[in-house]
Amino acid sequence: MAAKTHSPDRRDFLKKAVATGALYTAGGLPMLSEIAEASGYATPSGPIVVNVTLLGGPDMRHLLPPAYTSSTSSYGYNFWRARARAFGIGSSPAAWQRRWNDRYYQRGSGASRFGILKSAPWLRDMWDDGNVAIVNNVIGSTSRDHEHSIMVMDQGNRKTGPNDLIRSGWGGRLAQALDANVVSVSHTPRPFCYGAHPSGDITRIDTKSLVGADDTRSFSLYKAQTSGSQAQWDDRGMLARTLRSYYGGLKKDIDPDSIYAEFVEMESKVRKFGRQIDQRLRSVSEPARFRTLQHWEKSPMRHPGFGLQARNLHDALACSDILNMRVGSMEMGAWDSHEGQAEMIEPNFKDLFGNNMAFDTLWQNLPGKIRKRVVFCFQGEFGRQLMANGENGTDHGRANSVILIGQKVNGGIYGDMFPEGEIARLNRPSADIQGLTTIDHVYGALCDWAQPGTGDIVFPNRDSSRVEAGVRLDRLFA
């Protein structure tokens, strides 16, 4: 059966309208660097945080399940019994063991023995290199509503109400604290990217630190060829030349105090900015594999659009000095796995972590000076319930795991991956993962890695939020 997905509604439309409008009504361009390297990949000015939002509630326990064991009192046995339907397998222990052996790389030891889907070998390799932190039992919203919960995660604010649409995002606030920009490589920037309004009014946002880069290889203003065999005399080319001449002449004549002077200055800056990006990317060739991944007909990915996002991120990192980039934003949808979960989300994990897929291709094509300065954060609005439902899927839960990947990550498991206390609840309808660590602490630790002290700026109420006993998130990064 096809998985259920929540269809776009008025709330989705309003969010997209706000995001798109923000880019063109900010009253000026983002803060762009006046100092840039001549060519090649940029040397990042500091650590770069890339947030990857998985929309729909990703089941991280499907990606990283406990080891199957034959002891009927163990977590491993009871988990596989409760989840057999979601894995699309029969009700016998032999079927559970076969699935564990056939589909998972086996890692860990003792109570923390777990698997990594074999369709996610890049994740396995990064784990084996000590570059993956799995932070468990993380809670944002206590609601099971998609729209409310994703707003909480984007804004990094557990007090966000279901109607608090226009609020700053924690990525935008972090960019402001770093005096840098957040670069969105998805089709529409997420609210994660919005900055706080300088007036302090929480119902207003600021987008001066936001750069939208949904197609980095078509970033600059259109410039028609005026000579040679490629000369373009169509309507688009004629309009582009006319506008360029118009703004060029207007810039010489307009009064600096005119209300129109800002528009003229913006056109000039956009044109200059585009030239810088184009020049840099001419010296950094597009990896051939990305051209395949983003091709809507030839791509091996279920989500070719995410292949484009990965290419955009590659280019943005290459241009991080020009973009003044310290924060990035990506998104992938289709994680709401009420039905046919295995058939639905295993290909999604392959898109993310498979051989020669999005992040493997990105990682292969980044030089060491960028690899050691970037950390990826993978999370969704909530997790799934402990027991499979009757349609071979799982329903909305609350807490989940957050996955952090990067060379500066102190790899390991943070928080009890499979709490023994869950065993008694594994077969209870509607039971879910208990939230023991709030998002303030996970995201705040990322902020502090980007620049010490910014965690308390971005999350001023972090100290009053809870952390699972024995978990030290101040040790997440080298």
HEC sequence for 114-169: EEEECCCHHHHHHHHCCCEEEEEEEECCCCCCHHHHHHHHHHCCCCCCCCCCCCCC
Domain boundaries, the chain: 47-220+284-475
- CATH for 47-220+284-475? 3.40.720
Q: Does the pLDDT at position 33 exceed 80?
A: no
Q: What is the pLDDT of residue 272?
A: 77
- State both tokens at 256: 């600096």
Scanning the structure block, which residue is given the tokens 């009871």? 78
Angle between helices 170-177 and 439-450 (to 10 degrees): 30
Distance between CA atoms of 377 and 155, rounded to whole angstroms? 15
Q: Is 99 a residue whose pLDDT tops 90?
A: yes
What does the pLDDT average to over 234-253? 64
Neighbouring CB atoms inside 10 A of 9's CB total 9
pLDDT score recorded for residue 229: 57
pLDDT at res. 307: 98
Residue 306: the pLDDT is: 98
pLDDT at 250: 64
For the chain, the distance separating the N- and C-terminal CA atoms, rounded to the nearest angstrom, is: 45
pLDDT for residue 271: 73
pLDDT of residue 169: 98
Rounded Cα distance, 457 and 444, in Å: 9
Read off the pLDDT of residues 291-347 as tens digits, 9 standing for 90 and up: 999 999 999 999 999 999 999 999 999 999 999 999 999 999 999 999 999 999 999
Q: List the one residue out of 436, 439, 474 whose CA is nearest residue 459.
A: 439
State the pLDDT at residue 24.
37
pLDDT digits 0-9 by tens, 341-397: 999 999 999 999 999 999 999 999 999 999 999 999 999 999 999 999 999 999 999
Q: How far apart are CA 234 and CA 460, in angstroms?
A: 55
* Helix (H), strand (E) at residue 450: helix 439-450
